[in-house]
Amino acid sequence: MPIDILSPALISAVIAATVTLLALVVSGRRQIQAERRRRREKRVDIQTALKAEIDHYVAALSNDKMNLDDFWKEIVLRMEKDDGYIPFIPAEKNDMVFQSVLPDISILPSPVIEPVTYYYNQVVAISSLIEDLRSPDFRNTDPARGAVMTQDQRIAIFTDYIGLKSEALLAGKNVSQALKESLDKWG
């Protein structure tokens, strides 16, 4: 039996299939657009949060009341004059936002991923060195309690600490600018 291509049932079926197909295409496009919008919003949110965390640390490091070079000179001079003087270095945690967004770091634009990771590597290095500066080995001045570092060794480690902070300041300014430019462009 030949198929009548002009039969109302066949025409209805073709129209229904076409409408269903168009609806799927339109729905798929809307889902893709919604996913792109969510991804863009998340990228902006992450960059904004990172910029806020970095800008806070940069502001603290570039505070007029605590110039890193002047601080270094003051502490080293005091350490040179008094072999028993060991500066107290407070613990720092300047990567809480970064740690929370690390699983999503890949959604950041390429031009900011490298400076962000470089900056946070500096922050982690500072935290590690602070642990050393706060350790019993660094602080021990009593030979009866074990090996004692020389004051020159302590000064060298403290100098490395200030050097890392200076590098973090410069890296922070650079990454803050990269994030600003990215937010201006993509945000």
Segment 38-54, tens digit of pLDDT: 989 999 999 999 999 99
In a domain, 2, yes or no: no
| 170 C-beta neighbours (distance < 10 Å), count | 13
pLDDT of residue 1: 54
Which is it for the CA torsion 122, 124, 126, 128, positive or negative? negative
In a domain, 1, yes or no: no
- Mean pLDDT across 89-95: 93
In a domain, 3, yes or no: no
In a domain, 129, yes or no: yes
> 160: domain range?
8-186
Which is it for the CA torsion 118, 122, 123, 127, positive or negative? positive
Calculate the average pLDDT of the chain.
90
Q: How confident is the model at residue 9 (pLDDT cuts 50, 70, 90)?
A: confident
> CB of 149 within 8 A of CB of 137?
yes
In a domain, 87, yes or no: yes
| 178 C-beta neighbours (distance < 10 Å), count | 20
Q: By percentage, how much of the chain surpasses pLDDT 70?
A: 97
Our count of domains for the chain comes to 1
- Mean pLDDT across 87-104: 94
Residue 121 backbone phi and psi in degrees, to 5: -65, -40
